[in-house]
């Protein structure tokens, strides 16, 4: 079992998270492009992992505090502020990585990625609105009607 934690989180782990990372596989990347992108994501991995762990720890702190705790309001406020700051840092990091990756792509791949991202966003919005929109049965077990 060889699973180096830090390098795999940067190079391979992000395609499971929100965002366009998984779309890169649809662009017909060259071997050189794949290597450059892997290096970008591997370099960013430790910071992204740290931010993710901090967000989890912050959420856990709030979850482990009972609403009957005398300090609950203060802890809740602190956790909210901390989460906002960490989320902003993560968004900034994602934007920087995206910009670095975009520079690796050809103009045609950049256009293709923008199109795929727009389709992904439209699908998310349609799914979110379809689940709560008019005519919804309210059943989450029903298969999508397509």
Q: Enter the tokens of residue 51.
A: 């931010």
Asked if 45 and 12 touch (Cβ cutoff 8 Å), the reply is: no
Over the stretch 104-144, which tens digit does the pLDDT of each residue have? 999 999 999 889 889 888 988 888 876 555 554 544 444 44
Asked if 44 and 93 touch (Cβ cutoff 8 Å), the reply is: yes
Report yes or no on whether pTM surpasses 0.95: no
Asked if 41 and 11 touch (Cβ cutoff 8 Å), the reply is: yes
Distance CA 130, CA 136 (A): 7
Distance CA 60, CA 48 (A): 18
Over the stretch 59-111, which tens digit does the pLDDT of each residue have? 999 999 999 999 999 999 999 999 999 999 999 999 999 999 999 999 999 99
């Amino acid at each position: 079992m060889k699973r180096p934690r830090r390098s795999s989180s940067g190079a391979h782990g992000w395609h499971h998270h929100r965002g366009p990372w998984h779309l890169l596989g649809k662009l017909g990347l060259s071997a050189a492009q794949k290597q450059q992108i892997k290096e970008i994501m591997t370099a960013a991995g430790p910071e992204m992992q740290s931010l993710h762990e901090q967000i989890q720890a912050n959420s856990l702190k709030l979850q482990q505090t009972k609403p009957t705790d005398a300090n609950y309001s203060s802890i809740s406020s602190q956790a909210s502020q901390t989460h906002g700051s960490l989320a902003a840092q993560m968004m900034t990091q994602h934007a920087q990585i995206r910009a670095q990756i975009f520079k690796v792509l050809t103009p045609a791949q950049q256009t293709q990625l923008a199109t795929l991202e727009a389709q992904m966003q439209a699908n998310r919005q349609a799914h979110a609105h379809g689940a709560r929109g008019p005519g919804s049965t309210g059943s989450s077990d029903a298969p999508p009607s397509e």
